Amino acid sequence: MVERQLGAWLSGRFDYVAHSDWVGHDAISPWIALAVIASEDQKFPEHWGFDVAAIESVLDNSNEKMRGASTLSQQTAKNLFLWDGRNWVRKALEAGLTVGIETVWSKRRILTVYLNIAEFGAGTFGVEAASQRYFHKPASRLTMSEAALLAAVLPNPIRFRADAPSGYIRQRQQWIMRQMRQLGGEGFLQRNKLMM
């Protein structure tokens, strides 16, 4: 949030305001928790902060278009403590912070923090602010479809928009909902002690 706000001011955009409303895990719909796991990190309950198979896949295909292998834990560490960008210094710091987060916090705490700090659109940080902005209701009342739409924009919330979804975002939303069902819906969250 600080990085985006300072960037806006330095570029002369004084009308930009970064907004976030922190909510506890009991005020977040289980659908959004499941949607971000389904779209961003399906091995979240199993790993210790790093998806080794995804990292190896990225390294093996290094000559192809760059894609991410960051887990929700890594994204939480980056969003909470670090800056955007792809360099080895930031990645090394992110790795150390991820180990610390995974050691100290429960998976449910990591997920709660991630959902409260993730960027869902220009100036919109956290699931409560996104739910209020795009659906005019609290995050606790998000439906499966709404949650999947929010998760669909996460790879690039500045380029992709939940309030004006492109055909690609609608396709991604449908894919995420299929993944949510294949994971087992809310039962997946209950089995892994992630229920919001």
Closest CA to 27 of 105, 121, 161, 126: 126
- Close Cβ partners of 3 (under 8 Å, ≥ 6 residues apart): 83, 84
pLDDT at position 83, please? 78
Query: What is the domain partition of the chain in residue ranges?
Result: 20-191
Which tokens belong to 130? Answer: 């996104």
Does pLDDT of 14 surpass 70? no
CA dihedral (187, 188, 190, 191) positive or negative: positive
63 pLDDT exceeds 80?
A: no
Distance CA(131)–CA(124), nearest Å, equals 10
Region 164-180: what's the mean pLDDT?
A: 98
- Taking residues 132-158, report their average pLDDT: 97
Q: What is the pLDDT of residue 150?
A: 98
Q: Tell the burial category of 21 from Cβ atoms under 10 Å away from its Cβ (0-12, 13-18, 19+).
A: middle
- Residue 18's pLDDT band, with cuts at 50, 70 and 90, is low
What is the rounded CA–CA span in Å between residue 46 and residue 148? 22
Neighbours of 82 (CB within 10 A): 15
Give me the CATH code for the 20-191 domain, please. 1.10.3810.10
- Cα separation, 76 vs 20, in Å, equals 15
Note the pLDDT of residue 85.
Answer: 77
pLDDT value at residue 86: 78
Between 15 and 31, the more confident residue is: 31
Q: Kindly report, residue by residue over 78-124, the tens digit of the pLDDT.
A: 999 987 877 888 889 999 999 999 999 999 999 999 999 999 998 89
Q: Are residues 169 and 161 in contact, defined by beta-carbon separation less than 8 angstroms?
A: yes
pLDDT in tens, 23-38: 999 999 999 999 999 9
- The count of C-alpha atoms lying within 13 angstroms of the C-alpha of 143, restricted to the half-sphere facing its C-beta, is 6
Q: Which two tokens stand for residue 139?
A: 């995050």
